[in-house]
């Protein structure tokens, strides 16, 4: 019996999202799938342009880069939050209208962002580093930058509202965020109970995302004021700190959100509970605190930063990353080992995500090492590490969840054991690995990141990467089409 069904017996479990919640989750995930493919296409085009196979004028390349980065981070957040909402709603009573409001704000924000980039020509990347939006050297005007920044703000407000609603639910059901994180139990307080893993991960994600979004909103508003009133200036180093506090935290949180699928579903598949142990709670407590303060690893080359912040960033990057990975990775292995687990697309993709996340953190931590960063900074090593855990960690979590919610129910014709699905999953994993390896290898050869034009000597790697990227895009298209075609099952269930 799983922990969750035990809780159900005890009667203290909401039964998952209500009808409206399911509709909004379906809308979010359908959007996630389609936007994902579109953004991948932009990525393929950029990589092919770097390899000299197609011509993208640099202004268009940087617009693609901006849209790809912003779009991918935004869609990772939308997908992650939908997965987390689904599982959180098994434990909390949530107001589904909030998820709908976020969906609408998201779409409005995306239209503004696309207008800012493709009409207003803004191409200052998703990190909108101050004072770039206002100082473009004629590449774009105030309008383009304004709609981009404002659109980002609208998307952020939508996500913030969702976080506040889940936070409210956690407080109402568990009596506070600290309790939902299991801190009283961790410290052995009398009468404290251990919250289920899904609740712990949700509490952590909601807390750090809320702080990140508030930071993001502040710096976006300040940047907009600077744009409209140029005499209002910021300290660029302060601005960079806030931007990376926001950017680092939000993209990391998307994985912490989506990992709820692993915690909830592997026990269902194996019939073994995922118990909340003290090491588990301690690891999540460490990450909750540390993920918020390690962002200076993005500023290791900023000589004006105080040295101690850099030393902290390096040390805490190491100590932040590994504990949660270890409790999750080992936990998953322990649950799966000799369990007679039924391997299907959902469980297979979730298991792949464990590999992608764990392996991808290694090049990340290497880059957070000061002596290495002084060589690797601004090379393709950087997109190499984050594509690793996003493409092979986060995305398989989202895709696995998409397969799972659209699986055959009792009333459906059962899914045939589909060999084409498995082949496609193998192609996705292998070509994804090839694609990120080309980024990492190029980075190790000091090929700079964010360059529209590459030297002839680098192009062989760019071209190899382009072939892998096309295969990834093809496999992802298959996953998304499968999901969209089976979506009515999810809406009809229950």
Distance CA 335, CA 404 (A): 18
Cα 140 from chain centre = 29
Q: Which of 447, 449, 470, 352 is nearest to 403 (CA)?
A: 352
* Among the listed residues 29, 73, 166, 354, the single contact to ligand HEM using CB under 6 A: 73
* Minimum distance from residue 378 beta carbon to ligand HEM (Å): 9
Cβ-based neighbour number of residue 51 at 10 Å: 19
CA angle (452 as vertex; 451, 454 as ends), nearest 5: 75
Whole-number minimum distance, CB 151 to ligand HEM, in Å? 16
Distance separating alpha carbons of residues 169 and 94, to the nearest angstrom: 6
Contact between 76 and ligand HEM by CB under 6 A: the answer reads: yes
CB 235 within 8 A of CB 266: no
Please, which residue, 23 or 129, has the CB nearer to Cu ion?
A: 129
Question: By C-alpha distance, which of 118, 6, 3, 14 is closest to 66?
Answer: 118
Other Cβ atoms closer than 10 A to 488: 11
**Are 88 and 94 spatial neighbours (Cβ–Cβ below 8 Å)?**
yes
| Least Cβ distance, residue 187 to ligand HEM (angstroms) | 36
**CB contact at 8 A, 75 and 35:** yes
Verify binding: residue 72, ligand HEM, rule CB under 6 A.
yes
Stretch that binds Cu ion, among 84-92, 248-256, 418-426, 475-483 (CB under 5 A): 248-256
CA distance 363 to 383: 10
Considering beta carbons, is residue 91 or 248 the nearer one to Cu ion?
Answer: 248
Smallest separation, CB 432 to ligand HEM (Å) = 8
Q: Residue 11: is it exposed, middle or buried by C-beta count within 10 angstroms (0-12/13-18/19+)?
A: exposed
Tokens read off for 13: 């479990």
Select from ligand HEM, Cu ion, none the partner in contact with residue 248, using the beta carbon and a kind-dependent cut-off of 5 to 8 Å.
Cu ion
Determine if 449 is a binding residue for ligand HEM (CB under 6 A): yes
CB of 406 to ligand HEM, least distance (A): 21
* Residue 250 within binding range of ligand HEM, rule CB under 6 A: no
| Least distance between ligand HEM and beta carbon 373 (Å) | 16
Provide, rounded to whole angstroms, the least separation between the CB of residue 450 and ligand HEM. Answer: 4
**Interacting span for ligand HEM (CB under 6 A) from 137-145, 285-293, 330-338, 444-452:** 444-452
- For residue 265, what are its two tokens? 């579903």
Assess 22 for contact with Cu ion (CB under 5 A).
no
Q: Which stretch binds ligand HEM (CB under 6 A): 67-75, 259-267, 353-361, 417-425?
A: 67-75
DSSP, collapsed to helix, strand or coil, labels residue 330 as: helix
d(CA 78, CA 401): 14
From the list 248, 272, 387, 454, which residue makes contact with Cu ion (rule: CB under 5 A)? 248
Q: Does 125 bind ligand HEM (CB under 6 A)?
A: yes
- H helices present in 115-235, as ranges: 142-174, 177-180, 183-186, 197-228
| Shortest Å distance, C-beta 6 to ligand HEM | 35
Q: 422 is in the binding site of which of Cu ion, ligand HEM, none (Cβ under 5 to 8 A by kind)?
A: none
Which tokens hold the place of 101? 């409001």
Chosen residue from 473, 475, 480, 487 binding ligand HEM by CB under 6 A:
473
- Residue 13 binds which entry of Cu ion, ligand HEM, none, with Cβ cut-offs from 5 to 8 Å by kind? none
* Residues in region 331-360 near ligand HEM by CB under 6 A: none
Tokens of 35: 């936007």
Check binding of 204 to ligand HEM (CB under 6 A).
no
Report if residue 472 touches ligand HEM, rule: CB under 6 A: yes
> In the bound complex, what is the minimum distance in angstroms from residue 131's beta carbon to Cu ion?
22
Q: How many residues bind ligand HEM (CB under 6 A)?
A: 26
Tokens 């506040």 — which residue? 164
Q: Is 43 in the site for ligand HEM (CB under 6 A)?
A: yes
Q: What angle do CA 269, 270, 271 make, to 5 degrees?
A: 100
**Segment contacting Cu ion by CB under 5 A, of 88-96, 133-141, 243-251, 326-334:** 243-251
- Looking at residues 380 to 409 of the shown chain, list those that interact with ligand HEM (rule: CB under 6 A): 383, 387, 390-391, 394-395
CB of 295 to Cu ion, least distance (A): 6
Detail the DSSP E strand segments found in 290-402. Answer: none
Q: Does 40 bind ligand HEM (CB under 6 A)?
A: yes
Residues 6+ apart with CB under 8 A from 256: 80, 201, 204, 205, 208, 287, 324
Nearest to 251 by CA among 360, 394, 99: 394
What is Dmax (Cα atoms) for the chain? 67
Report the interface residues with Cu ion, using CB under 5 A.
Answer: 248
Report the interface residues with ligand HEM, using CB under 6 A.
Answer: 40, 43-44, 46-47, 65, 68-69, 72-73, 76, 125-127, 383, 387, 390-391, 394-395, 449-451, 469, 472-473
């Amino acid at each position: 019996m799983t922990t969750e069904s035990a809780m159900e017996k005890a009667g203290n479990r909401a039964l998952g999202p209500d009808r409206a919640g399911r509709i909004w989750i379906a809308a979010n995930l359908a959007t996630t799938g389609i936007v994902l493919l579109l953004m991948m296409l932009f990525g393929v085009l950029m990589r092919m342009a770097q390899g000299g196979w197609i011509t993208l004028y640099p202004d268009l390349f940087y617009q693609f880069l901006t849209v790809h980065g912003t779009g991918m981070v935004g869609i990772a957040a939308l997908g992650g939050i939908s997965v987390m909402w689904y599982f959180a709603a098994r434990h909390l009573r949530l107001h589904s209208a909030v998820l709908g409001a976020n969906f609408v704000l998201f779409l409005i924000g995306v239209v503004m962002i696309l207008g800012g980039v493709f009409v207003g020509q803004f191409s200052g990347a998703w990190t909108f580093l101050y004072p770039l939006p206002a100082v473009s050297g004629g590449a774009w005007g105030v309008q383009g930058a304004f709609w981009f920044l404002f659109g980002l703000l609208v998307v952020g407000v939508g996500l913030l509202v969702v976080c506040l609603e889940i936070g409210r639910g956690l407080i109402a059901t568990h009596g506070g965020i600290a309790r939902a994180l299991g801190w009283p139990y961790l410290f052995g307080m009398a009468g404290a109970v251990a919250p289920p893993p899904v609740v712990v991960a949700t509490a952590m994600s909601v807390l750090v995302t809320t702080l990140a979004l508030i930071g993001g909103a502040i710096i976006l508003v300040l940047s907009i004021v600077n744009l409209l009133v140029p005499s209002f200036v910021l300290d660029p180093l302060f601005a960079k700190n806030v931007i990376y506090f926001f950017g680092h935290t939000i993209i990391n949180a998307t994985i912490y959100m989506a990992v709820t699928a692993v915690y909830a579903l592997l026990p269902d598949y194996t019939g073994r509970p995922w118990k909340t142990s003290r090491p588990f709670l301690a690891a999540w407590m460490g990450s909750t605190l540390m993920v918020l303060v390690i962002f200076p690893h993005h500023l290791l080359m900023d000589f004006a930063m105080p040295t101690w912040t850099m030393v902290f960033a390096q040390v805490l990057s190491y100590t932040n990353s590994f504990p949660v990975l270890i409790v999750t990775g080992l936990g998953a292995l322990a649950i799966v080992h000799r369990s007679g687990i039924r391997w299907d697309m959902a469980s297979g993709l979730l298991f792949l995500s464990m590999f992608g996340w764990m392996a991808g953190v290694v090049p990340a931590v290497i880059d957070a090492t000061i002596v290495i960063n002084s060589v690797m900074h601004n090379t393709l090593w950087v997109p190499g590490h984050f594509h690793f855990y996003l493409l092979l960690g986060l995305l398989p979590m989202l895709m696995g969840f998409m397969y799972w919610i659209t699986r055959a129910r009792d009333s459906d014709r059962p899914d045939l054991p589909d060999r084409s699905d498995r082949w496609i999953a193998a192609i996705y994993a292998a070509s994804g690995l090839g694609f990120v390896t080309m980024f990492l290898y190029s980075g190790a050869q000091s090929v700079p990141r964010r360059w529209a034009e590459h030297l002839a000597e680098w192009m062989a790697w760019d071209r190899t990467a382009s072939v892998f990227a096309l295969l990834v895009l093809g496999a992802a298209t298959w996953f998304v089409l499968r999901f969209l075609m089976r979506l009515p099952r999810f809406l009809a269930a229950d």
